[in-house]
Amino acid sequence: IERTLSIIKPDATRRNLTGKINAKFEEAGLRIVAQKRIQLTKEQAGAFYAVHKERPFYDELCEFMASAPVVVQVLEGEGAIARNREVMGATNPADAAPGTIRAEFADSVGENSVHGSDAPETAAEEIAFFFSGLEIV
């Protein structure tokens, strides 16, 4: 059974959408096996998104991720990584399929409501960034 790291981003926590987004995950058969609401510093956001360091939007992305609390969570299920990315929809909400989280809730490619790991290796790294094994049940 697979696990993936999900983040409900500041644009969504600000608009009180945590429950509606979690309902989408649960309807898709993903179990929330760990979850906490935290306030990232810009430095912590930068460390999490280190792979994007050379991208032009890196600084803006780190500012945004530290601009309000986020909800970090571990989702578990059959093919959880791909299933979660399906439920999230395309990075740019304008391209996201109807019914997906980004189509329904996100406003822009930068402030796109959710993050989800993109492969088994990154999922393991990203889960370990936020959670200890004892916190995942």
Among ligand ATP, Mg ion, none, partner that 110 touches (CB below 5 to 8 angstroms by kind): ligand ATP
C-alpha to C-alpha distance for 14 and 29, rounded to whole angstroms = 26
Q: How many residues bind ligand ATP (CB under 6 A)?
A: 10
Among this protein's residues, is 52 annotated catalytic? Answer: no
Rg of the chain in Å (alpha carbons): 14
Residues 6+ apart with CB under 8 A from 59: none
- Span of 6-14, 42-50, 81-89, 117-125 interacting with Mg ion by CB under 5 A: 117-125
Catalytic pick from 3, 24, 83, 115?
A: 115
Residue nearest to ligand ATP (CB): 91
Element (H, E) at 74: strand 70-77
Give CA torsion, residues 30, 74, 41, 16, to 10 deg: 30
Binders of Mg ion among residues 52 to 111 (CB under 5 A) are none
Closest approach of Cβ 127 to ligand ATP, in Å?
14
Q: Does 122 bind ligand ATP (CB under 6 A)?
A: no
DSSP secondary structure, 21-63, as one string: HHHHHHHTT-EEEEEEEE---HHHHHHHTGGGTTSTTHHHHHH
> Toward ligand ATP, which CB reaches closer, 45 or 133?
45
| Binding site residue list for ATP | 9, 57, 85, 91, 102, 112
| Binding site residue list | 9, 57, 85, 91, 102, 112
